[in-house]
Amino acid sequence: MLSTAIAGAIIAISFSAPPGPVALETIRRGLRGGFGPALRVQLGSIIGDLTWCIAALIGLAPLAQIDFFRNGLGIAGVGLLVYLGAMGMRDALKQTAIQATADARDRQGAFRTGAAISMANPMAVGYWLSVGGALVAGGVVGGNAGQTTAFITGFLSGVFLWAFIMALAVRFGKQMLNPLAFRIITFACGATMIIFGFTLASQMFGALL
Best mean pLDDT range from 142-146, 198-202, 204-208: 198-202
Q: Cβ-count burial of 180 within 10 angstroms (0-12 exposed, 13-18 middle, 19+ buried)? A: exposed
Q: Are 48 and 118 in contact (CB under 8 A)?
A: yes
Mean pLDDT within 181-199: 84
Q: Cα–Cα distance between 16 and 114 in angstroms, integer?
A: 12
C-alpha span between 178 and 194 (Å, rounded): 25
* Residues in the chain, total: 209
Q: How many Å apart are CA 188 and CA 208, to the nearest integer?
A: 30
- Where does the pLDDT of residue 95 fall: very low under 50, low under 70, confident under 90, or very high at 90 and above? low
| pTM, entire model | 0.76
- Reference 37, options 118, 105, 121; nearest CA is 105
What is the C-alpha end-to-end distance of the chain, expressed in Å? 45
pLDDT in tens, 35-92: 888 899 999 988 888 888 777 777 666 666 677 776 777 788 788 888 888 888 887 7
- How do residues 111-169 score in pLDDT, each as one tens digit? 989 998 888 877 777 676 666 666 655 555 555 667 777 878 888 898 889 899 888 88
Q: In 2-99, where does DSSP find H-type helix? A: 2-16, 21-33, 35-57, 67-94
Burial class (CB in 10 A: 0-12, 13-18, 19+), 3: exposed
pLDDT of residue 61: 60
Whether the CB-CB separation of 134 and 64 falls below 8 Å is answered with no
